[in-house]
Amino acid sequence: MAKKVQLSELIDKEIETLDVLLDRQSRVHIAVKTRNWIDLEEDLEEIRKLSLEFSAMEETREGLGKTEISAEEKSKLLALHSKLLKSKIENQILNKYIETSRNFVQGILDNAVPQRRNVLYSRNGKIIKREPESVVLNRIF
């Protein structure tokens, strides 16, 4: 019976950790959109810590072995998996936003900044696009 209680409590802790992690992921998305780099760094560090904590709990849960799972534990595991899926979707949305922004900036730089160096080719003979270079704009307020 001790394993049952321990498993149930462990799943509850995992769910709590994922709730905090999901909140931090939302804050990261907002920080990226608002370009608040200080908050972004803090949130990313907290996400790293939460991820390590969650991984340790997962290993502990897997170490408990294959025991009979009650209906309550099944519902908790379902909630846990749905939160993991939500986290994955949140990551995909943020990655898509960053990719779209990067491609937009790359397109502007390709058109606005002349090539200063020769064209680079891959070993397959295709042209390699260079990473965006730093550009300083002279703005008067």
pLDDT tens figures, 47-67: 999 999 999 998 888 887 777
Residue 118's pLDDT is what?
63
**DSSP designation for 36:** -
Tens of pLDDT, residue by residue over 81-93, are 999 999 999 999 9
121: three-class secondary structure by DSSP: strand
Distance CA 77, CA 37 (A): 35
- Read off the pLDDT of each residue in 117-126 and give the average, rounded to a whole number: 75
Share of the chain above pLDDT 90, in %: 38
Contact present, 17 and 58 (Cβ < 8 Å): no
Q: Determine the Cα–Cα distance for residues 28 and 34; give it in Å rounded to an integer.
A: 10
Yes or no: say if 22 and 83 are a contact pair by the CB < 8 Å rule.
yes
CA distance linking residue 137 with residue 63, whole number of Å: 57
